[in-house]
Amino acid sequence: MRCRRTALIYSPLFGNFNYGDDHPFKLQRNRMAYDLLDAYGLLNLPNMQIHDCQPVPDDLVLTFHDPAYVSRLKEFSSADEPRADFRFGLGDAECPVFKGLYDCAALGAGATFEAVRLVEEGRVDTAFNLTGGWHHAHRAKASGFSYLNDAVVAINWLVARGRRVVYLDIDAHHGDGVQEAYYDTDQVLTISLHESGIYFYPGTGFENETGEGRGAGYSVNVPLLAHTDDAIYMKAFDEVAYPLIAAYNPDIIVTQIGADTFRTDPLTNLEITTNSYIEILQKITRFKIPWVALGGGGYDLMNTARAWTLAWGVMNDVELNPRLPPAFIDKIAAHGYQNRVLLDAPHWAEEADRILALAAVEKSIARIKKTIFPGILGNHGNAPV
């Protein structure tokens, strides 16, 4: 059997940008992940490539984003003094304005486009952009640390080429910007598993957000209560995402694989570990469908480095030593990190929390099976439920 051909999209230029010392989104996590990949010997595998990237072209950006918004992004990006325009979501604590802002966002979107292009052209089977997954950017508004929606820009290019796409989002936050882009089309099936918007940013992603017009039934959301653990998370994936992906049978899968679902992430309240994270990625590989992965969220830098290293191992069918390489331990120890292991121990939430989270997810699954499954499974063939 032919080994999967993979591409890692990485640019050292992301190290030139900074959201601010006090901002939770740290682009330094890209370098930490890259160093861990290197320490495990994952940057010189026989069937992989490393690709640099270029800023995404303006014509692709404008397939989704409003020209006035893009113009303001560019203006603020080149300004020397602080700027703000709250109509476009720019200049607050969430989406700060900094020198080179547009260059950073365009480079990230360009990396995702490079990943999609490599997969679409059949040059690789799987491509991974560490920096991608800015899923909160809207047509004319920055939101959730996101300025350009790299996934939408790249998927639009695929749709223009006649491709049908599944967008699967396992970040802790609802992929609201991507849902917005494809709410009225059946060319893209969006599936998002995320912490519930009842009390959590961005306040969207409920089961009744199912699309409209031709897109009715092609937006799928599984909101999860705080303290959802691995077993409950896998129940949501296995009973909703897996059968829908199988039935839709897309030409390409695009996934946002944020690590902010992990139980030690400082901004979220889920209790996921590396165990369910790996299991989901392994199940994606079994579809044998061309796959593009985007890094997404993650606000504990070591969690993110570990998650993306595990993801790259899965993509290349490499089993990794659960102990971190000694050279990497020495490197991170100098910065105050005490981590020694790649994998998390199995974890179950406290019983009272589990009961509430399980009841909520069972209710969501039942509703989705009633409203979504008849359309997708009926229109695209049967799949195991």
φ, ψ of residue 341 to 5 degrees: the values are: -125, 150
Taking the CA of residue 154 as centre, how many other CA atoms within 13 Å lie in the half-sphere pointing to its CB? Answer: 38
What is the 8-class DSSP label of residue 170? -
Which parts of the chain are beta strand (E)?
Answer: 6-9, 48-51, 126-129, 165-169, 188-195, 219-224, 252-256, 291-294
C-alpha–C-alpha distance, residues 64 and 108, integer Å: 16
Residue 171: DSSP 8-state:
S
For 5, which DSSP code? P
Q: What gap in Å lies between CA 267 and CA 356, rounded to an integer? A: 21
Nearest alpha-carbon partner for 303 in 332, 327, 281: 332
| Residue of 136, 173, 174, 227 with catalytic role | 136
Q: Are 126 and 6 in contact (CB under 8 A)?
A: yes
Q: What is the DSSP letter of 341?
A: B
Cα–Cα distance between 190 and 211 in angstroms, integer? Answer: 10
Distance separating alpha carbons of residues 73 and 62, to the nearest angstrom: 13
Nearest to 90 by CA among 139, 14, 145, 18: 145
Query: Is 136 noted as a catalytic residue in this protein?
Result: yes
Residues serving a catalytic function are 136
